[in-house]
Amino acid sequence: MRAYRTIKRLLLACVGISSLWIISSLLSGNDDSGMEENIIQHAKQPRAKDPQADNGVDENNDLYKVVPGNKLTFMQTDNSGHELSNDSLNIHNERNQEPIVDSLTLSREKLKQSILTINHEQKVYNQDRFADRSPDSIVILVMVHDRLEYLEYLIQSLGKADGISDALLIFSHDYYSEDINRVIRQITFCRVMQIFYPYSLQVYQNEFPGPDPNDCPRDITRDKAQKINCNNWEHPDSYGHYREVRYVMTKHHWFWKLQHVFSGLEATKNHNGLVLLLEEDHYMAPDFYPMLQKMYQLKKEKCPECDILTLGSYDKTFVYKDRNDKVDSLVWHSAKHNMGMSLDRKTWEELQPCVPQFCTYDDYNWDWTMNYVSHKCLSSALQVMVFKSPRVFHIGECGIHHKGKGKCSADELVNRIDSTLVANKESLFPDKLILSPKTRPLKARLPKPNGGWGDVRDHTLCKTYRKEASKVV
């Protein structure tokens, strides 16, 4: 028994030394390039097997590891090399009979490799049905987490939209779910792709970019953080707080997906037109697609300075009479014009010199960060063209800022939106759009940053996305 305890202590000591070495390697070096390499390589590589662990079970073997909270399930391999659980071997996509990987039974390393494989393959579904896209085709980029109920409503509304067969619909995920995959791969109304944010919390549950055991607690003081030598103790945010993973991941995912679509996908490498940004809890009007095309043409003819086109706002009342064909040209404001916004390659390239500012500004919100970039980095603030009558609606009640008040169901709001659209069906699909006369913009102070983005590791990882976009990430 004494010998057993001695061996156990030696093994624990080896694990502790290995963990300290990994942490020090992440934070070593004073130049950004060295830190970038450490972060990216560490995020990509699986942990090495401990040669001293000879207990008959390799703790790094994916047959024995599961995502916490799920029972151990024996793994088998299909013909493509993907590993499936015994419970999921008979689950296939109804349309093309391809096996679907079950994230509940995949280990984190196998999940990581599946995500890398999907991103590398860049498979486009329904390409045989919709071989050609028009010159003014729109790429629709949907940011997806795990709220399937909302996503199904969004997909239903997209499927009812006029002209949708011309689109390329890309779903960008930060969570791997068999149920979500099955719903997406049953879409038949346009070409479809899936991409996965490769540094998600689902995969990196115990290491950066997820929560590292040695990360500083959010509310610890800087002096105490220094004493315990926790990660990034030198750099709390503007309010003295340390990193909260669930908040920073949204900004990471938002920026990565755009860099990846504009710079890393074969299907979009020659696309210079609009990329429409949606989220899983949005809902679309049936005329949104042709109206966005008309808006883009109006921009070219009468508002070349308009950088962003937005389909709606957060107004609680939806008015169409006498304003269904009207659009405004305004200074882009993050709190008003971030829903259903679209931009083309020209605008995105003009934003690239501001990547350092975007990646280091101390605000975990991507839209507030963009607001700062607009006013403090660009030569002139971003201009937006926005519909007076919305073509996109927000149906999510349980987002990242939800405080737990009220019912979190989309049913009632979707029914109200549908009723409004039916009552105003004669106002939809106007023949042309009218740009309202410009008004002098009101001067307003930039809001203070919200913080939550002080960790230099986040800054460094964020800056790598453009460099990594053209590689297999």
Q: Which residues pair with 341 in a beta bridge?
A: 310
Q: Are residues 296 and 335 in the same domain?
A: yes
Q: Are residues 199 and 71 in the same domain?
A: no
Total count of domains within the chain:
2
Q: Are residues 67 and 142 in the same domain?
A: no
Q: Are residues 259 and 290 in the same domain?
A: yes
The CATH number covering residue 198 comes to 3.90.550.10
Q: Are residues 252 and 340 in the same domain?
A: yes
281 is in an annotated binding site: yes
Query: Model-level pTM?
Result: 0.78
- Report yes or no on 415 lying in a domain: yes
Q: Are residues 85 and 124 in the same domain?
A: no
- Report yes or no on 11 lying in a domain: no
> How many angstroms separate the Cα of 387 from the Cα of each of 53, 315, 319, 422, 434?
63, 12, 11, 19, 10
What CA–CA distance (Å, rounded) separates 443 from 306?
A: 19
Strand 282-284 to 168-173 pairing: unpaired
Residue 204: other Cβ atoms inside 10 A: 20
394 is in an annotated binding site: yes
Copy the structure tokens of residue 42: 């560490």
**311: nearest Cα among 154, 170, 293, 153:** 293
pLDDT per residue of the chain (473 residues) written in tens, 0 to 9: 545 555 545 555 554 444 444 444 444 444 445 555 555 554 443 333 333 333 333 333 232 223 232 222 223 333 333 332 323 222 223 333 344 444 545 688 889 899 999 999 999 999 999 988 898 999 999 999 999 999 999 999 999 999 999 999 999 999 999 999 999 999 999 999 999 999 999 999 999 999 999 999 999 999 999 999 999 999 999 999 999 999 999 999 999 999 999 998 999 999 999 999 999 999 999 999 999 999 999 999 999 999 999 999 888 788 998 999 999 999 999 888 999 999 999 999 999 999 999 999 999 999 999 999 999 999 999 999 999 999 999 998 654 444 455 555 678 889 999 999 999 999 999 999 999 988 777 677 888 999 999 999 999 999 999 866 544 43
Domain boundary pick from 102, 131, 155: 102
What CA–CA distance (Å, rounded) separates 65 from 59?
A: 7
- Report yes or no on 300 lying in a domain: yes
- Report yes or no on 317 lying in a domain: yes
Q: Are residues 256 and 371 in the same domain?
A: yes
Q: Are residues 447 and 371 in the same domain?
A: yes
Domain boundary pick from 42, 76, 102: 102
- Report yes or no on 186 lying in a domain: yes
Range of the domain at 249: 120-203+243-469
3-class secondary structure for the chain? CHHHHHHHHHHHHHHHHHHHHHHHHHHCCCCHHHHHHHHHHHHHCCCCCCCCCCCCCCCCCCCCCCCCCCCCCCEEECCCCCEEECCCCCCECCCCCCECCCCCCCCHHHHHHHHHHHHHHCCCECCCCCCCCCCCCCEEEEEECCCHHHHHHHHHHHHCCCCHHHCEEEEEECCCCHHHHHHHCCCCCCEEEEEECCCCCCCCCCCCCCCCCCECCCCCCHHHHHHHCCECCCCCCCCCCCCCHHHHHHHHHHHHHHHHHHHCCHHHCCCCCCEEEEECCEEECCCHHHHHHHHHHHHHHHCCCCCEEECCCCCCCCCCCCCCCEEEEEECCCCCCCCCEEECHHHHHHHHHHHHHHHHCCECCHHHHHHHHHHHCCCCCCEEEEECCCCEEECCCCCCCCCCCCCCCCHHHHHHHHHHHHHCHHHCCCCCCEECCCCCCCCCCCCCCCECCCCHHHHHHHHHHHHHHCCCC
Q: Are residues 321 and 404 in the same domain?
A: yes
What CA–CA distance (Å, rounded) separates 28 from 37?
A: 11
- Report yes or no on 158 lying in a domain: yes
Residue 308 near residue 343, CB atoms below 8 Å: yes
Q: Are residues 65 and 166 in the same domain?
A: no
Q: Are residues 87 and 129 in the same domain?
A: no
- Report yes or no on 143 lying in a domain: yes
- Report yes or no on 17 lying in a domain: no
Domain boundary pick from 36, 69, 102: 102
Q: Are residues 191 and 262 in the same domain?
A: yes
